[in-house]
Amino acid sequence: MRALPLLLAAATFTLAMPAHAQDAHAQDVHAGHDMGAMDHSGHPMQGMEQSDPHAGHAMPASDEDDADTPGDAPPPPVPTDHPADRFFDPARMAAARADLAREGRFFGNALIVDRLEYRAVRGRDGYGWQGEAWIGADLDKLVIASEGEGAFGETAERIELRALWRHAIAPYFNVEAGVRHDFQPGPQRTYATFGIDGLAPYWFDVEAQLLVSDKGDVHARVEGSYDLRLTNRLILQPAVELDAAFQDVPELRTGAGFDRLEAGARLRYQITRQLAPYIGVHWERRLGETARLGALAGERASTVSLAIGVRSWF
């Protein structure tokens, strides 16, 4: 019975404790315990070590590794059928494709007059022309080209007429093969000609020709031009042409080596894409032995003229 008063006193003291003190005591049941001196070396730590559940297991290669490995299976065959043949008569579809290829292929013609000009020379006004007409498709064309010059009131000094087959070998270049006939005072010549023309890098128009005459003499020509667009309609075109002979041809007053050089610049105004009048300067000079032979015949070695003309195409 003596213990009863002690139990009642303890219960009364417990009820009288502040609520926050009870909460703090509940949060840390080990508060105030000194664990530093305890020796755990002999205690097994079961459940505290997390081992790898896959340790010692062999991991097979994944599908991604197999996909990265190059195979040696042959490629699938290239399809050669036409999808429309599955739904329509194949014979009718073949005829339709042939019609499309025929009707869709380009075929046209054009007449291009690069130069048709009056040349004002002191004491001897003259004229000059250069142009071509062609008919054909994208790859192959038949070309008739002509150029020449002369003085008013006299026989033309030079008339060249060419008939060529032109074949595209690249997006910007063609090869040409055909014949050229020269109409001029004195002996006339017919040449077999082979050459190349096209649009070189940086937009230079270039052409090179090799000619072999019916008399066996061999000649070459290189020419080029460039369209410098000053405005949308105003265009300056410098041009140069160089002729050479591989042997002396006295009857044509031509010496071996470089025999003639032409250069000029023409400023044209493009009224429409089909019509462009121009004004410019034209310079021509005979070179080397050709100049000497021309002087013996009373011809000038060099001439400079004011050129006024028109460029057009149809």
pLDDT tens for 170-181 read: 999 999 999 999
Q: What is the pLDDT of residue 123?
A: 77
Q: What is the pLDDT of residue 48?
A: 45
Name the band, by pLDDT with cuts 50, 70 and 90, for residue 280. very high
The region of weakest confidence among 14-18, 79-83, 243-247 is 14-18
Task: Name the average pLDDT for the chain.
Answer: 84
**Domain chopping of the chain, boundaries:** 108-313
Global pTM? 0.68
User: Which amino acid type is present at position 42?
Assistant: G
Which architecture, in CATH terms, is 108-313?
Beta Barrel (2.40)
Q: What is the pLDDT of residue 62?
A: 54
Whether 228 shows a pLDDT value over 90: the answer reads yes
CB 289 within 8 A of CB 257: yes
Q: H or E segment at 43?
A: none
Q: H or E segment at 175?
A: strand 173-183
